[in-house]
């Protein structure tokens, strides 16, 4: 698959795919002419990246845990990082939930006024 196909199928831009490679997240082979050639798994991998990006993980962290995904094993360091990230995400969810409650308060207060 060429880069445009991966982009269309995964829903990210061509630029983003080149950026992911720059960050060490994708390692496509090259055609004799120098064009990137992606395997079938590339689309799923990109969707996986998007999920983690959406949870606030930076490229570095994603790159660090790719070996875990590929080998199915973790070093002590990787487990520590995974735990830290999971903790961070849980806290984030709490903060989002709290903020949501604050916005709800505003809505409810305004609704009461109108009632």
Partner DNA sequence: GTAGAACCTACCGCTGACGTCAGGTGCAAG
Partner DNA sequence: CTTGCACCTGACGTCAGCGGTAGGTTCTAC
| Residues that bind DNA in the complex, under the rule CB under 7 A | 2-5, 7, 12-16, 18-19, 23, 31-36, 49, 53, 57-60
Rank residues 9 and 78 by Cβ distance to DNA and give the closer one: 9
Is residue 113 a contact point for a second copy (CB under 8 A)? yes
Task: Pick from 34, 76, 109, 115 the residue near a second copy by CB under 8 A.
Answer: 109
HEC readout, 28-68 = CEECCCCCEECCCCHHHHHHHHHHHHHCCCCHHHHHHHHHH
CB of 31 to DNA, least distance (A): 4
Binding track, positions 13-52, relative to a second copy; x by CB under 8 A:
-----------------------------------x--xx
Q: Which two tokens stand for residue 45?
A: 């991998």
Identify the sign of the CA torsion 79, 81, 84, 90: negative
- The neighbouring-strand residues paired with 37 are 29
């Amino acid at each position: 698959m060429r880069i445009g196909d991966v982009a269309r199928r995964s829903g990210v831009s061509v630029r983003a795919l080149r950026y992911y490679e720059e960050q060490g997240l994708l390692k496509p082979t090259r055609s004799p002419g120098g064009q990137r050639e992606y395997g079938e798994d590339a689309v799923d991998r990109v969707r996986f990246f998007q999920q983690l990006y959406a949870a606030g993980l930076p490229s570095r962290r994603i790159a660090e845990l790719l070996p875990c995904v590929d080998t199915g094993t973790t070093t002590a360091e990787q487990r520590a990082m995974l735990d830290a990230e999971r903790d961070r995400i849980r806290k984030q969810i709490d903060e989002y939930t709290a903020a949501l409650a604050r916005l709800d308060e505003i809505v409810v207060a305004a609704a009461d006024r109108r009632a």
